[in-house]
Amino acid sequence: MSGCGEAEWKVFYGRNFWESEKGGEPSREIRLGKKFLWGGHEWEAAAVYVCEKGLTLDLCKRVEQKEMRRFLNRWLAGGEKETELTDAELDQAGEEHPLRWDIRLSLQVDGRPVRMESSCTACINPCALLYGADEIGDQEALHAAAHYGLDGDACWMIARSHFAWDRETDALPLVLELTLSEEKKTVRAERFCVSEKGVRKQIVHPGTGRTYLLTVEDFSQDSLAEDLFSGMDIPEERFPRCFIQMTYRLEPELSDDEFRLRDCSSSDELKTAGGGTSAAGIAVIGGADGPVSFFVAGKTGEKTALVHRAFSSLHFEPVREVCWQPVFWEQRTEDMVLTIECG
C-alpha cells in the first residue's frame, strides 16, 4: 500500500495489533502469500508466525471501494448517524458490513488439529474519508498493509488469529490445512404483531417463497425477579423489569438455529437518579440465552411438536402488544478448505 512507510515489523503471540510488545520474543515469520476466492471476495493467507507458545496467522480480505460505497450510501444516506438508526437497523447494518469478521477458523498443522486461543481484526477503508472520517484506518492496519504490500485502492480487513501449538524444539510447520466457515446470515421476513394467544400467522421466507404457519400457544406477562439486581450500585427501581413471554409452534418445523423472533422495539432506557432516562445499554435477562425450544410429549411419551419460546424487550410498564421480526438464519457460503505448504 503506497503512502505508508513501513516501520520495524514484529508479531507477538497472543497479542492484538495495538498491544505493547513487552513480555516475550517476537515470532518468526513464514511468508505464505496464498491467495484465494471465497464468498465473492479475494482473500490472502499472508503469513504465519511461529514461536514457542504457538502459531499466529494473518488473513487479509479485499473489498472493492464500490461495494463499500454502496453499503455506506444505503445506511448513511442523507447524513444519518449510527445513533439515529434503530436497534434492528444497526443489527442489519452490522451483518451487511463488507468488512465484518463473521468467519470461524479451524486449523491443522502437519495433520494435527490446533486450538484457536484468540483473534482480532483491523480495517482499512478509503471510503471513510467521504463520510467525515479523519483517516482511512489506524496506524496498525496501515503498517500491516504496507508489510504485506496490499492494494491501496481497495478496502481491507486484516484478521490475526492465535493457535496453541505444542511443537518440538525449533520445529517449523510444514503443511497447514485451514478451514473457513461462514457464520449464518439473517433473512428478515415481514413483521407481525401479537396481543393474545391463539393467533395464527403465515410467514413467507423472502428468498425461497416458502410459507410457514406460526401458531401462538401462549402470550403472557412476566417480570424479572426482584432480587436480580441485588448487589448492584444502581437501585433496582431504575431498571425496566416487565416483558412478554410467548410460546409458539412453527409448521413446517425449524430449529432455533434456523428461525427466531425478535422484538421490533427496544428495551426502555434506565432511569437516572433525577427521574430521566439514560442511554446505558440493558442486557435482556429474560432472553439472554436466546430463544428456547422444547418438545411437548404425547400420551405415549413420543415427541409430537417442537414449541419455541420468545421474549420481548424490557419495559417499566406492561405492554399489551408485541411486534415481532421473524428472522431466518442460513449459511450462504460453503466452507473453504485450504492446504498451504510452508516454505
Tens place of pLDDT for every residue, the chain, 343 residues?
Answer: 544 445 688 898 887 776 655 557 889 999 999 999 999 999 999 999 998 889 999 999 999 999 999 998 888 765 555 556 777 777 788 888 999 988 999 999 999 999 999 999 999 999 887 777 777 888 888 999 999 999 989 999 999 999 999 877 678 899 999 999 998 888 899 999 999 999 999 999 998 999 999 999 999 999 887 766 666 665 556 778 899 999 999 999 998 889 999 998 888 887 655 555 444 444 443 333 344 434 333 344 444 568 899 999 889 999 999 999 999 998 888 999 999 999 7
> What does pTM read for this prediction?
0.73
154 is a domain residue: yes
Q: Are residues 47 and 178 in the same domain?
A: yes
Q: Are residues 33 and 150 in the same domain?
A: yes
Q: What is the pLDDT of residue 104?
A: 93
Q: Are residues 233 and 113 in the same domain?
A: no
Q: What is the pLDDT of residue 254?
A: 92
Q: How many CB atoms lie within 10 A of CB 267?
A: 19
The count of domains in the chain is: 2
Q: What is the pLDDT of residue 168?
A: 72
Instruction: Dig out the grid coordinates for 292 from the structure.
Output: 428456547
Q: What is the pLDDT of residue 279?
A: 43
9 is a domain residue: no
Q: What is the pLDDT of residue 88?
A: 72
242 is a domain residue: yes
Burial of 282 (0-12, 13-18, 19+ CB in 10 A): middle
Q: Are residues 274 and 173 in the same domain?
A: no
Q: Are residues 150 and 227 in the same domain?
A: no
Instruction: Dig out the grid coordinates for 89 from the structure.
Output: 437497523
Instruction: Dig out the grid coordinates for 3 from the structure.
Output: 503512502
Instruction: Dig out the grid coordinates for 177 from the structure.
Output: 490445512
195 is a domain residue: yes
Which residues sit opposite 53 in a β-bridge? none
- Integer Cα distance of 150 and 126 in angstroms: 13
340 is a domain residue: no
- Integer Cα distance of 99 and 162 in angstroms: 20
Q: What is the pLDDT of residue 5?
A: 46
- Pick from 183, 201, 225: which residue ends a domain? 183
6 is a domain residue: no
- Pick from 150, 183, 216: which residue ends a domain? 183
In angstroms, how far apart are the furthest CA atoms of the chain?
74
Q: Are residues 62 and 178 in the same domain?
A: yes
Residue 68: strand, helix, or coil: helix
266 is a domain residue: yes
Residue 73: strand, helix, or coil: helix
Q: Are residues 268 and 251 in the same domain?
A: yes
Q: Which amino acid is at 302?
A: E
- Integer Cα distance of 154 and 222 in angstroms: 51
Q: Are residues 36 and 177 in the same domain?
A: yes
238 is a domain residue: yes
Q: Which domain holds residue 34?
A: 28-183
Q: Are residues 172 and 195 in the same domain?
A: no
Q: Are residues 252 and 154 in the same domain?
A: no
Q: Are residues 150 and 176 in the same domain?
A: yes
Q: What is the pLDDT of residue 86?
A: 72
- Pick from 162, 183, 204: which residue ends a domain? 183
Q: Are residues 211 and 326 in the same domain?
A: yes
